Chain A
Amino acid sequence: NAGVMQNPRHLVRRRGQEARLRCSPMKGHSHVYWYRQLPEEGLKFMVYLQKENIIDESGMPKERFSAEFPKEGPSILRIQQVVRGDSAAYFCASSPEALGKRNADTQYFGPGTRLTVL
Chain B
Amino acid sequence: AQSVTQLDSHVSVSEGTPVLLRCNYSSSYSPSLFWYVQHPNKGLQLLLKYTSAATLVKGINGFEAEFKKSETSFHLTKPSAHMSDAAEYFCVVAANSGGGADGLTFGKGTHLIIQP
B106 touches A103 (CB 8 A): no
Asked whether, in the complex, the Cβ of B103 is within 8 Å of the Cβ of A42, the reply is no
Which residue of chain B lies nearest to A92 when distances are taken between CB atoms in the complex?
Answer: B43
With an 8 Å Cβ cutoff, the count of chain B residues facing the other chain is 26
Residues from chain B with a CB closer than 8 A to the CB of A102 are 32, 94-96, 102-104
Q: Which 7 A-B residue pairings sit nearest by Cβ, starting from the closest?
A: A42-B106, A109-B43, A109-B44, A101-B103, A43-B106, A102-B94, A111-B43
Q: Do B41 and A104 have beta carbons less than 8 Å apart?
A: no
List which A35-69 residues lie within 8 A (CB) of chain B: 35, 40-45, 56, 58-59
Which residues A10-46 have CB closer than 8 A to chain B? 35, 40-45
Contact with B along A65-107 (1 / 0, CB 8 A): 0000000000000000000000000010100000011111100
B109 / chain A contacts, CB cutoff of 8 Å: 41-42
User: Given the complex of chains A and B, what is the CA–CA distance between A56 and B44 in angstroms?
Assistant: 22
Chain A interface residue number, banded = 20 to 34
* CA–CA, A104 and B32, complex, Å: 9
B42 & A45 in contact (Cβ 8 Å cutoff): no
Which of B36, B41, B104, B107 is in CB contact (< 8 Å) with A45? B104
Given A111-B42, A111-B43, is A56 in contact with B34 using a C-beta cutoff of 8 Å?
A: no
Q: How far is the CB of A40 from chain B (nearest CB, A)?
A: 7
14 contacts between A and B (CB under 8 A): A35-B106, A40-B9, A41-B108, A42-B90, A42-B106, A43-B90, A43-B104, A56-B101, A56-B103, A91-B44, A102-B104, A103-B94, A111-B42, A112-B41
Q: Which residues in B have their C-beta under 8 angstroms from that of A45?
A: 103-104
Residue A115 lies at the interface, judged by CB distance under 8 Å to chain B: no
